[in-house]
Amino acid sequence: MFEKNVPDQVKLFDLGIYGDSSVSVQIAAGWFDWFCEDKSLRNKTINLYGKVKSILKANEKGKRFDPAKTYLFFKNNCPMRGHLYDSISLVSMETREVIYWITPRSGHQVDNDEAQVCSPENGFTEPIAKGQWKDIVKYFEGQ
**Domain spans in the chain, listed from the N-terminal domain onward:** 6-141
Write down the pTM of the prediction.
Answer: 0.95
Specify the pLDDT at position 40: 97
Residue 135's Cβ-count burial label (10 Å; 0-12, 13-18, 19+) is middle
Which residues, at least 6 apart from 67, have a Cβ–Cβ distance to it below 8 Å?
A: 5, 6, 7, 56, 59
All residue ranges of the chain with pLDDT < 70 are: 1-2
Supply the pLDDT for residue 111: 87
The per-residue pLDDT for 47 is 98
What's the pLDDT score for residue 3?
80
By the 8 A CB rule, do 17 and 36 touch?
A: no
